Each structure stands twice: as structure tokens, then as C-alpha cells.
A and B are shown apart, each in its own frame.
Chain A
Amino acid sequence: MKLKGKSKAQIGLLLLPGLLIFCIFTVYPIIRLFWMSFFKWDFGSFLSQKFIGLENYRSVVTDPYFQTSFVNTIVYTLITVPAQMILGLLVAILINSVKKFKIGFRVAYYLPVITSWVIASLVFKYVFNTEGLLNYFLTNVIHVTGSNIRWLDSRWGGMTVAMLLGIWKGIGWNMVVFLAALQAVPQELYESAALDGAGSWQKFRYVTLPGIKGTVLFALVMLTIGGFNVYTSTKLITDGKPGHDTEVVLTWMYYKAFSTGKFGYSAALSFIIAFILGILAILEFRLMQNKEQQ
């Protein structure tokens, strides 16, 4: 529609509050982050920064602790994302095919999603403690391990607990999203597939999967971002211990900024993560679009 002078002023007024908050508290920090990443910027010396070009980026990339945290984050994402999607889709298909208690199941499977990360992390820390419930069950009840596993005292033990938590907490979200997608697949397609003699697997492969492709892409992008965003669980479950073996990129960034005061280093690290996620999101969209054309 055509804008008259008066309407323009009104639109400006409507936009103003949101724009102000967004620009001051999100856009400005992003620009500031980029700026900081080129300076030697230490906590307590806000006034004396020295331009050092790409030095922060170099020290991030060559830092063995960063490399460990990066590998941990990649492994976390590569395992938790497909696991959540597959289990969430499976639960959605099962719920979609029963006649009674649909809502009851949906609420129960959704409970972990609305449980805060802080609470869920503490519950898992408690369950996986060396003297905790899970070890007791494994060792003394079903006897699959000879002695208690020290889950939280090793790199992959600690990461396993964080990943199990991530999967447990993510199934419900995937279930709801896929359930909606399944209900949007036209019923006639299943009927005509049945007429053509398709079995359950073929129906899933040739009707369901193509029908929910958009949702799979949506979930993939959102969950990849979520995987890189993991912070609270590893912070509270292991706090990076032993050593800094179970750090993920964000806990390591946080540690460098607020425990050692290296703001410039942390800014460069944050920017690297943001950049990688941007590239990944674009790649995931491309990948799905290519498949669509085939």
C-alpha cells in the first residue's frame, strides 16, 4: 500500500520501541563483539586496548583447550541431533497411530522440554553420581558392570551424561513438531500407496518422508544451533572437569572471559562459532533443496 506522510510517522512510532531494544541489546553487542575480537582486551582494562589484528583468532585456533572443546561440541551435535530426531519421529509415528490417550502421551513426553536446563542437569548429575541410582542399578541389580562407573570423572563419561541429557530433553520437542507434520500429510496418498500394494516401510519411505521433508530441515537447522548452544548442562554437570576435558565451546569461552579476563580471546571465539553456524545453516538448506530437485 502507498504510504502518506502521516502513515509514515505512525509506522515509525510503531517500529521504534522494538527497534530500539533490538539494536541496543542485540545488534550493538554483535558489532561490538566483532570489534573486540581484533583487540588485546583484558578484564579490568576497559580503557587500554591495543589493536592486534588477527592475533586473537590465531590464539583461539591454536589453543589445545579450544580444540578439545570444539571436538566435544561437534561430537555432542553429531550424536544428539540425529538421536533426538529419530526418537522424536518414532514417538510421533506411534502416537499418531493410536486412538486413545494421545494427549496424555504427548504431555508426558513433553515434560522434559519444559523442565529447565538447570533442574534437568542437577537430576542427571544426581542419577549418574558414582554412588548414584544408575550405578547401583547397573552393578547390583542387573550386574552388567563389576564396579561403579565413574561417569563424571572422565572426558567421554561426562560427555555421555551431557549427551543423554540433551537427547532426553529434546525428544518431546521433535515429537510435537513431527506430529504436526504427520497430520499434514494427505491421507489419500497413503490410501493410493496401499492400493499399489505398498507395505509399511514403503509407505514410510515414499509417502511419509517426502511429506515431512520441510519439517526435517527445520528441525535439523534448529537442533544444530541448539547443539552448539549447549552450555548450562555441561557447566552444571561437570564444569569442564576433569581438567578442561569436558568443556564445550561456550563453557570454554565463558571460562576465558570471566575466569581469566581474556575478553578479546572470547570475542574471537564467539565470532568463530557464529560464523560456523551461519555456514552450517546455509549448507543444510542447500542440501535439502538439492534433494528436493532430484
Chain B
Amino acid sequence: MEMKKKNGMQALIYVLLILGMVIVILPMLYMVSTSLKPNGALYEYPPQFFPKLHEITLENYKYILSQRKFLGNFLNSIAVSVCTVAISAAVSSALAFCIARFRFPGRRALFAFIILTMIIPGTTMIVPQYELAVKLKTINSIWGLIPFYVAWVIPYSTFMIKGFVEGVPSELDEATYMDGGNVFTVYVHVIIPLTKPGIASISIFNFLTAWEEFPWANTVINDDLKRTLPIAISGFFGQHQFTQWGYVFALSVLSLIPILIVFISCQKFFVQGLTAGSVKG
């Protein structure tokens, strides 16, 4: 009797979970299915959730892949995201290590400022940052995006990595100093190897941030060839009288692939990165 009730409960939970899951992934499926339909009709009426079998076509993908500029946009996004991840991992872990381990002057003020900037939405700074980019002549430059993205992710990365550094016993530092090591050797041989999972998990989020960033890149990049993917995707609007949804969604699906690869291959790190700050808090 008890057993039966339990099984019934489990079945109900599965039904609820599957129902919710269907609702959640429905928009994504619709995007994929639209990208596989012929691009002729602006809005098909009545709309079909699935394309008719004989209608399924890769013409939208063929068009996107045949355009040189989209390949360029893709490479731009890769370059900007990879550089952002690498630089921010290096500088944030160094900041986190110093803040966690040494009492240097201005340490508290620095940490307070880091917390403060986590509260302020990045987009609110767009006006003075735009002025700064004009002065530094980085308007319309792909490489000009990187320092802004790095600065953007430094606070959260430093905050999270600091938590991981504090989890490393300081006796390990001491032992290295005893053996004649200095600050750099401790950073390179103790802190980095032992906080690697933390740095990896933060890096996944930094990759996503740079990969999908829209407001800033949309403000400073105006050359077709210098666009990153989100700007290229949104650029389908306003360009023509009608939006070619087939192209929009084909490019969208293609731009999701690297993110899916990163997330699925780093599954085990990303939960850690998300929750390190929350459970303790």
C-alpha cells in the first residue's frame, strides 16, 4: 500500500517535470524547425509547428554558410570571447589571491569597490565608456571590445575565485615560502593548480558573457565585417523591409553550437561555479 502510493507520487512528479520541460524547450524547437523551412513566406498562415516533411530544406543554412561576412562574424566572436576568458582568468585569479592572502594598503577599499560594481548594471556605464572608447580610438575595433568585457567580468570573477582561494589551506603557502619560494611561485604552483576547477567554472560564464554581449558591441561596432554574432543576428532587422526569419534562426542555431559544446563538455564545473557564492551566502 505504502509502496504503491510512493510509485504513484513518483509517476506524477515525472509527468510534471516532462510537461514543464516541453513548455521550456518548445520555443527552442520552434526556432530549429523554422530554420529548416523554406524562406519564401514571410509569415506562413496558418503557422505550422513542424515543417511538412517534403518541405524540410537546408537552404537557409546554405545561404548563411555561403556568405563570407558571417564566417567573419563567427571568428570575431570566437576571438573576442577566448581573449576575454584568458585575460580575465589571469588577472582575476591574481587579484583574488592577493586580496585573500595579503593585507596591503587599500585592500578593503578595493574589495568594497568590487562588490559595489557587482550591484551596478553594466549598461548604466555605457555613456562614459563610450566617451572613453572615443578617446582611446577603439570605436569600431574588435580588439577594443576586449578590455571592456574583461573589466566587466573582473568583479564577479574575483569575488568567486577569492572564495576558492580561501578554501586552500594557507599552510601550503607557508611550506612553499619555507622552501625558498616567493609570491609568484606560490601563485603559480599552489594557488592556480588548486583553484583550477573554480577558475574553469567562472571561465564558462565569462565565455557566455562575451559571446552573447549585445548593447556595447552594438554601440561601438558599425562595420558589417567587424560585427560579433549577436549584432549580426539582430542586424537582419531594419536591413530589409521584411525580416527573413529563416536566415535569422539558421544563424541563431549555428551560433548556439559553440555554447552547447562548452557547456556540455564542462557540465561538472559549471554547477560549482554557479553555487559557490550562493550556498555560503
Contacts and interface: CB of A to CB of B under 8 A. Distances in A.
A and B, one complex?
A: yes
Interface of A: 1, 3, 6-8, 10-12, 14-15, 17-19, 21-22, 24-30, 32-33, 36, 46, 91, 94-95, 97-99, 103, 105, 107-112, 114-120, 122-124, 126-127, 129, 131-133, 136, 140, 168, 171-173, 176-177, 180-181, 184, 214-215, 217-219, 225, 228-229, 231-232, 235-236, 250, 253-254, 257-258, 263, 266-267, 270-271, 273-274, 277-278, 281
16 contacts: A11-B102, A14-B98, A14-B187, A18-B154, A25-B150, A25-B151, A26-B154, A28-B132, A94-B20, A109-B24, A112-B28, A117-B212, A119-B31, A176-B271, A225-B118, A278-B120
A1 B101 contact: yes
A122 B121 CA distance: 23
Given A116-B212, A181-B279, A277 B17 contact: no
B43 A131 contact: yes
B208 A184 contact: no
Main secondary structure of the interface of A (DSSP, over half): helix
A127 B45 CA distance: 13
Contacts of A271: 124
Interface string B252-278: 100110011001100100010011011
B264 to A, nearest CB: 8
B143 interface: no
B182 interface: yes
A30 B30 contact: no
A273 B219 CA distance: 21
A127 B95 CA distance: 45
A26 B211 contact: no
B25 interface: yes
B13 A123 contact: no
Contact of B151 (A24, A120, A219, A229): A24
Nearest to B31: A123
B158 A18 contact: yes
A156 to B, nearest CB: 21
Band of interface residues on B? 35 or more
Nearest to A95: B17
Contacts of B155: 22, 26
A202 to B, nearest CB: 17
A187 B150 CA distance: 41
Contacts of B267: 103, 107
B49 A214 contact: no
B120 A30 contact: yes
B3 interface: no
A93 B214 CA distance: 34
A263 B102 CA distance: 41
A116 to B, nearest CB: 3
Main secondary structure of the interface of B (DSSP, over half): helix
Contact of B46 (A109, A114, A136): A136
Contacts of A10: 182-184
Contacts of A127: 27, 30
Contacts of A122: 233-234, 248-249, 252
Nearest to B230: A118
A112 B127 contact: no
Contacts of A181: 275, 278-279
B242 interface: no
A33 B116 CA distance: 15
A14 B183 contact: yes
Nearest to A12: B104
B12 to A, nearest CB: 10
A180 B278 contact: yes
Contacts of B127: 33, 36, 253, 257, 263, 266-267, 270
Given A15-B94, A19-B95, A214-B278, A116 B230 contact: yes
B53 interface: no
A1 B132 CA distance: 39
B70 interface: no
Contact of B154 (A8, A22, A281): A22
